[in-house]
């Protein structure tokens, strides 16, 4: 599939696929799926590097992740029957697109991460009759995470923090995925990701040197504008579960729960 930064298209492929459509917030993925269903193939050139700016604030990152999670789920809702009815695509390719590309990667992955690590595992502490074996709670997820990180060895030292942060973002992505599947209120919300990188800095410096104008001041935010109540609510829930496990538990899950609580709290106050 071709989506995101630095995709180069043939005009014929765009026209044959039906052109750009604004029916979802992932128009690049929409076009790529339709082109793939019409027989077009994509080539990935790993030796080419393209610079890209990151979201400037956590709030901007949350909006971006909402769009990236809600959009594919909404696209799946709108395209699944079109994929099934397509006569130009082989059966196994249909299975791959529907099951692997959409269902597993774009829908189930977020929900499983959130439900297991942020709901099921903490609740097993409060309900002693329910027990999760150590291989299911720690060993298998650890192996999967390590294998996923092999491709980025330079960031291996951030692996532990990445796991905790991804668990937090799985809450936000699960919510966005459900909104996309149900085509609820924010399904078609498009908020341009705010990016204040080197390009903006250079433009401001150029304007300052040319017109002797002062650099624009940073916008001030109220503390309440940063608060994310959903994350703070889960921080409180995990903290209570951690305290209970510290007093009554036997598996030492409180270590993970307290660390995850801190991560939820930090993101809950917008940092």
How far apart are alpha carbons 25 and 234 in whole angstroms? 28
pLDDT at position 199 is 47
Backbone region of residue 147 per phi and psi (left: phi > 0; alpha: psi in -120 to 50; beta: other values): alpha
Looking up tokens 């106050």 gives 269
Mark the ranges of the chain whose per-residue pLDDT is less than 70.
1-4, 196-225, 271
Task: Mark out the alpha helices in the chain (DSSP H runs).
Answer: 11-17, 27-37, 58-85, 91-95, 109-115, 121-126, 134, 140-149, 159-182, 198-211, 223-226, 229-248, 254-268
pLDDT at position 141 is 79
pLDDT at position 186 is 81
Contact at 8 Å (CB) between 122 and 261? no
pLDDT at position 179 is 94
Q: How many CB atoms lie within 10 A of CB 223?
A: 8
Nearest residue to 264 (alpha-carbon basis) of 118, 121, 64 = 118
pLDDT in tens, 112-137: 989 999 999 999 888 878 888 887 77
Contact at 8 Å (CB) between 36 and 1? yes
Return the domain boundaries, the chain. Answer: 1-52, 57-268
pLDDT at position 157 is 80
Q: How many CB atoms lie within 10 A of CB 259?
A: 17
pTM above 0.85, yes or no: no
Instruction: Compute the radius of gyration of the chain from its Cα atoms.
Output: 22
């Amino acid at each position: 599939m071709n989506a995101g930064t630095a995709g180069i298209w043939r005009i014929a492929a765009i026209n044959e696929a039906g052109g750009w459509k604004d029916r979802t917030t992932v128009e690049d993925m929409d076009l790529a799926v339709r082109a793939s269903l019409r027989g077009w193939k994509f080539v990935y050139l790993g030796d080419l590097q393209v610079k890209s700016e990151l979201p400037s604030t956590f709030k901007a990152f949350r909006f971006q992740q909402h769009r990236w999670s809600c959009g594919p789920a909404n696209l799946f809702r709108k395209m699944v029957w079109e994929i099934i009815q397509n006569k130009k695509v082989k059966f196994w390719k249909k299975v791959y697109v529907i099951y692997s590309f959409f269902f597993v990667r774009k829908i189930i992955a977020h929900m499983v991460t959130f439900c297991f690590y942020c709901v099921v595992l903490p609740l097993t502490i409060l309900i002693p009759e329910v027990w999760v074996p150590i291989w299911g709670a720690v060993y298998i997820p650890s192996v999967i995470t390590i294998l996923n990180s092999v491709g980025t060895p330079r960031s291996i030292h951030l692996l532990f923090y990445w796991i905790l942060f991804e668990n937090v973002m799985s809450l936000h992505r699960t919510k966005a995925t459900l909104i996309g599947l149900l085509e609820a209120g924010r399904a078609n919300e498009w908020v341009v990701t705010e990016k204040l990188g080197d390009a903006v800095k250079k433009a401001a410096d150029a304007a300052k040197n040319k017109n002797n104008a002062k650099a624009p001041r940073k916008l001030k935010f109220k503390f309440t504008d940063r608060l994310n109540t959903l994350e703070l609510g889960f921080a409180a829930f995990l903290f209570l579960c951690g305290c209970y496990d510290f007093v009554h538990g036997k598996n030492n899950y409180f270590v993970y729960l307290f660390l995850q609580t801190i991560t939820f709290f930090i993101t809950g106050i917008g940092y």
